[in-house]
Amino acid sequence: MKKLTALLLVALMLLPATACGGANEPGAPAASVTEAPQEAAEAPAEPTEAPTPEPTEEPTPEEVIYQIGETAKGELFNVRLDAVVFLRAVENGRATTIYNQSGASSDKVYDAVPMDGYTVAAVVLTFSYNGKQRSELNLRSALVLDYDDGYTFSPIPWNESMPTTQDQYSGYYRFNHDDLQVVVSDPLSFQETTKIVYIFMNDVVRTETEKSLLLKLDLPTADGTEQIVFNAREDQTEEERKEELYEDAVDYLSRGKFTYAISCLEELGDYKDSAALYTEASLKYSMIRDKRDEVEEHISDFRKMDGSQISELFPGTWKLSQGGNSWDFFADGTIDDHWGNARKWKVDGDKLILSTDKTTDRFTVYEVYSGWYFLQDESQTDWHGIQLMFKEQ
């Protein structure tokens, strides 16, 4: 019995061994295998803030550059650049106050002629007003010409000398400017006004036309100033430029602006009848400046007046070249020279006879241009101021 019990125990002990060994037997069913879990996946990155864009500057508005003839509308003032004319001289541009021994003073005016290497520009501006408050503008301090982006030229102060060819006379010497103040004391009644500003500068500003020339003007506003910029050179074809110079010269000549006309014609050169216009402008300029020698050089070109023409011509008011004085010639043969002198006139043959109580002078009368006459004094006495005359219309 014991033996049987022992055999049963041995059999029971062998059963687990057989089960364990059966996993490696061919044909045995594959055991279910569970893979080891992988490492945990990387945690998702924490959300980051979107980058803040760098601040960008607002684009500055492009500077507006106006052209000659255009009107710039400011907060208070509107301004138009009408012309920039380079001149041979500024008529009556120099003024000198002369004092005598008794302390009395008198003003003398002369032309301001730039010396070699310099020129003078006449800047013509027209102003209107659209503000409602009083205001004023001083062009001497508010205006500059900017050449080649940095060379600046300002109007000549009224009490400052300029580079000219003339000697400086004793006394108080100044540039004879027009009033360069634009004053608005009553905005409702302000009338459009034109100002001419003279600016002396190196002559290269005139000749180097490929380089920029800007007019910069600081206009007053309600709480400060604003700058207006004009192109002081005209963008034109060569033919347009010549035609405009020609028209300007004719206009200046008709209005007695002889130095302006001469400057235009010098720049124009050979164009249409510019040579004849240049001669006319030069002669008339010489006459009003009392440059008799320059006029007499052309005497062969003048028309000589006969007695009947002189008799018909002379009654009326005449301007004399010297000092701009006027004489009135009356049909009864008397003259009022506005100095209180007893003068008479008559015609003898083809001669004009001018006489006082002490002197008698005989003149040959030449017509230089219509209304402009040269009196050649045959008696050779010195009649200052009578040789060049032009008749008032």
CATH (domain of 175): 2.60.40.1240
* pLDDT at position 287: 85
Q: Would 274 be classed as within a structural domain? A: yes
CATH at residue 375? 2.40.128
Contact 331, 344 (CB under 8 A): no
* 237 pLDDT higher than 90: no
Answer yes or no: do 81 and 193 share one domain: yes
Work out the percent of the chain whose per-residue pLDDT is above 90: 38
3 state SS of 284? helix
pTM for the full model? 0.55
Answer yes or no: do 230 and 264 share one domain: no
pLDDT band at 25 (very low <50, low <70, confident <90, very high): very low
Tracing tokens 């300007």 back to the chain, one arrives at 248
Q: Would 133 be classed as within a structural domain? A: yes
Out of 42-56, 166-180, 376-390, which region has the weakest mean confidence (pLDDT)? 166-180
* pLDDT at position 117: 83
C-alpha span between 275 and 73 (Å, rounded) = 40
Answer yes or no: do 257 and 222 share one domain: no
Q: Would 115 be classed as within a structural domain? A: yes
Contact 362, 348 (CB under 8 A): yes
Q: Would 109 be classed as within a structural domain? A: yes
Range of the domain at 242: 236-289
Ranges 91-100, 107-116, 359-368, most confident: 359-368
Contact 220, 143 (CB under 8 A): no
* pLDDT at position 51: 64
As for how many domains the chain has, the answer is 3
DSSP-derived letter for residue 164 is B
Answer yes or no: do 221 and 280 share one domain: no
- Residue of higher predicted confidence among 49 and 360: 360
Ranges 16-25, 212-221, 334-343, most confident: 212-221
Q: Would 225 be classed as within a structural domain? A: yes
Ranges 3-7, 204-208, 339-343, most confident: 204-208
246 CB neighbour count, 10 Å cutoff: 18
Strands 225-231 and 65-66: parallel
Answer yes or no: do 72 and 207 share one domain: yes
Answer yes or no: do 230 and 275 share one domain: no
